[in-house]
Amino acid sequence: MTKNCEKFLGELSDYVDGEIDPELCAEIEEHLCECENCRIMVDTLKKTVKLCCGEKCEELPKKLDKKLNNMLREKWEKKFSDRS
């Protein structure tokens, strides 16, 4: 690892996410062409997010959803009936 790797490490995550200004992006890409470590760093930073956050929760378990709806409605009715 060199001073350049240290300099770029703070930027590699933004680079992976495509959130970096074009000038810095070009500098990083030039560095990546000659640095195997940083190429691995970029690849594994990308895989880290994919592995840790790839499986999304699209919906609540049905039983929980039903239970929640009942609880929330009951609480709602109590709150607003206390007001009137």
Binding region for other proteins (CB under 8 A):
1-3, 5-6, 9-10, 13, 34-37, 40-41, 43-45, 47-49, 51-53, 56-60, 64-65, 67-69, 71-73, 75-77, 79-80, 83
Dihedral sign computed on CA atoms, order 45, 46, 49, 51: negative
Tally: H helices and E strands in the chain: 4, 0
Which of 26/39 has CB closer to other proteins? 39
Which of 26/64 has CB closer to other proteins? 64
Tokens of 9: 């490490």
